[in-house]
């Protein structure tokens, strides 16, 4: 496979798909530039090697073209500052031919939000009252116009670099389809994407045992495919967070008004059976920190997990469970953490997630490989200052989860083929 390090960028124009979908406040100031900083090593390396950059990204979910609120011109100044060079702007990503032609080595052009065009995602923008016939015709038409849209982007450049792991699970024009216009020597992952792919491969293929996954978060239903896939891989599966109570109720425990998916009780039992058949140790909570209302200043107590009084709810794991989870984690050599053990947004219910985070940090210090990913777990490690104490924190929410589910991500497959 081609790589940034091997490729000769001198005098070449590189189309680099990044994920600059950063949050902005009401004055269009960037409130968190993590995603921009994450792409800098790739962008700087290409410039250093004598290439020029055509940077492409989406932002938000625009419904029209243009849509001022989602314009990438709001972040132009910040990108210039971070890159240390002036950045030109193409205010229509499909009409940048002249600017691209004039681009010299070391110069940078940022294209306007690709999603101003419905062709980027390949989903037509339909009127609310569209008939089924109109919908079908529009879907067919956009597949055709998407090809033309993609070709315009591909024609800008000599090579294609994908550094947008956050959108790797989407088969969009700039994240996957464009790769077909470049041969294997002229398409490659950016450094961020490379790191993400390696981290996923380490927990999915190159496994050092014991392998422990900690699945938290609110619902079994949103994690079911991941859990099923993990049962073929892990030695221990720790189940935490709101999911706990669906399992506890299924096993006959009393859960008060804890979050629970009553239609998933059978599924929970089936998962336990499957785990047994596959020799996977399922580690469930034994005690809970409970509250008499869903609030940080609720009254609290600690009880056995299946003995939660009526009108109380489980908000985090209890101290016994913290010990059990920590012990399993510390004895692991590969660790995957997705989802908090409790309502970590409330300071009174962070203890379990913090204990899990600390145990992962300790295991990592002792040589384990640990991958943390999926929206809230990233917020957790940030909150507890553990980001540098785990092996890898993934930037991809949905993309990471789909990779762990065992799905092939279009953005990755398109570079590899
Ligand atoms: P997810 O997006 O599925 O990973 O879920 C993360 C959310 O689950 C966080 O916002 C937590 O507050 C929430 N959560 C974790 N434990 C509980 C619980 N015991 N009761 C209610 N919500 C919870």
pLDDT (tens digit per residue) in 240-284:
999 999 999 999 999 999 999 999 999 999 999 999 999 999 999
Best mutation site among 214, 215, 216, 218 for ligand 1 pocket (most ligand atoms within 8 Å of CB): 218
Residue 376 CA neighbour count, 13 Å, CB half: 16
pLDDT of residue 398: 86
pLDDT of residue 217: 87
Helix, strand, coil in percent for the chain, rounding step 5: 40, 15, 40
**Which of the two residues, 253 and 404, has the higher pLDDT score?**
253
Residue spans of beta strands (DSSP E) within 271-416: 281-283, 287-291, 300-304, 307-308, 313-317, 334-338, 369-372, 392-393
User: With pLDDT > 90 as the criterion, what percentage of the chain qualifies?
Assistant: 89
Asked whether the beta carbons of 33 and 27 are under 8 A apart, the reply is no
pLDDT of residue 261: 95
What's the gap in Å between 186 CA and the centre of ligand 1? 43
pLDDT of residue 417: 83
Q: Encode 235-302 in three state secondary structure.
A: CEEEECCCHHHHHHHHCCCEECCCCCCHHHHHHHHHHHHHHHHCCCEEECCCEEEEECCCCCCCCEEE
- What average pLDDT score do residues 195-204 get? 92
What's the gap in Å between 329 CA and the centre of ligand 1? 21
pLDDT of residue 13: 98
Whether 375 is a known active-site residue: answer yes
192's enclosing H/E stretch is helix 191-204
Model confidence pLDDT, tens digit, residues 125-135: 998 899 999 99
Ligand 1 in reach of 124 Cβ (< 6 A): no
Domains in the chain, CATH or no CATH each? 13-197 (3.40.50.1260), 207-372 (3.40.50.1260)
Helix-helix angle 351-365:375-383, to 10 degrees: 80
Average pLDDT of the chain? 95
List CB contacts of 201: < 8 A, sequence separation 6 or more: none
Give, using CA atoms, the residue closest to atom 5 of ligand 1: 217
Whether 95 is a known active-site residue: answer no
Ligand 1 in reach of 218 Cβ (< 6 A): yes
- Number of helices followed by number of strands (H, E) in the chain: 13, 17
d(CA 417, CA 412): 9
Model confidence pLDDT, tens digit, residues 141-195: 999 999 999 999 999 999 999 999 999 999 999 999 999 999 999 999 999 999 9
- What average pLDDT score do residues 372-395 get? 89
Give the torsion sign (CA, 403, 198, 35, 372).
positive
Best mutation site among 239, 242, 316 for ligand 1 pocket (most ligand atoms within 8 Å of CB): 242
With cut-offs at 50, 70 and 90, classify the pLDDT of residue 375: low
Whether 219 is a known active-site residue: answer yes
Model confidence pLDDT, tens digit, residues 296-338: 999 999 999 999 999 999 999 999 999 999 999 999 999 999 9
Whether 398 is a known active-site residue: answer yes
pLDDT of residue 312: 98
Q: Which atom of ligand 1 is nearest to the CA of 340?
A: 15
With cut-offs at 50, 70 and 90, classify the pLDDT of residue 1: very high
């Amino acid at each position: 496979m081609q790589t940034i390090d091997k490729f000769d960028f001198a005098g070449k124009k590189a189309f680099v798909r990044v994920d600059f979908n950063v949050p902005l406040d009401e004055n269009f100031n960037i409130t968190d530039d993590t995603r921009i900083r994450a792409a800098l090593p790739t962008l700087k390396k290409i410039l250093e090697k004598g290439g020029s950059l055509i940077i492409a990204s989406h932002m938000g979910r625009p419904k029209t073209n243009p849509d001022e609120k989602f314009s990438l011109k709001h972040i132009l100044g910040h990108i210039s500052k971070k890159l240390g060079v002036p950045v030109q702007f193409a205010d229509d990503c499909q009409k940048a031919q002249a600017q691209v032609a004039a681009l010299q080595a070391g110069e940078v052009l940022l294209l306007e939000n690709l999603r101003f065009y419905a062709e980027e995602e390949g989903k037509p923008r339909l009127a609310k009252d569209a008939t089924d016939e109109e919908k079908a015709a529009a879907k067919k038409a956009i597949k055709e116009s998407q090809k033309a849209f993609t070709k315009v982007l591909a024609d800008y450049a000599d090579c294609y670099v994908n550094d947008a792991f956050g959108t790797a699970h989407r088969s969009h024009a700039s994240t996957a389809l464009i790769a077909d216009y470049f041969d294997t020597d002229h398409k490659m992952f950016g450094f961020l994407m490379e790191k993400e792919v390696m981290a996923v491969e380490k927990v999915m293929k190159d496994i050092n045992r014991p392998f422990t996954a900690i699945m938290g978060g609110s619902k079994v239903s949103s994690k079911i495919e991941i859990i099923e896939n993990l049962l073929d891989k892990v030695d221990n599966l720790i189940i935490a967070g709101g999911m706990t109570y669906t399992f506890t109720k299924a096993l006959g425990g009393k859960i008060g008004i804890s979050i629970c998916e009553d239609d998933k009780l059978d599924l929970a039992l089936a998962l336990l059976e499957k785990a047994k058949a596959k020799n996977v140790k399922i580690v469930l909570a034994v005690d809970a920190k409970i509250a008499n209302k869903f609030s940080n200043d609720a009254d609290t107590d600690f009880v056995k997990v299946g003995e939660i009084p009526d009108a109380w709810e489980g908000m985090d794991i209890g101290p016994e469970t913290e010990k059990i989870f920590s012990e399993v984690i510390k004895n692991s050599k590969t660790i995957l953490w997705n989802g908090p053990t409790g309502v970590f947004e409330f300071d009174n219910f962070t203890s379990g997630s913090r204990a899990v985070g600390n145990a992962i940090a300790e295991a990592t210090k002792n040589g384990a490989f640990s991958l943390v990913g999926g929206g809230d777990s990233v917020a957790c490690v940030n909150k507890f200052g553990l980001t540098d104490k785990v092996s890898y924190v993934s930037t991809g929410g949905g993309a990471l989860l789909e990779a762990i589910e065992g799905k092939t991500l279009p953005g990755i497959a398109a570079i590899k083929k």
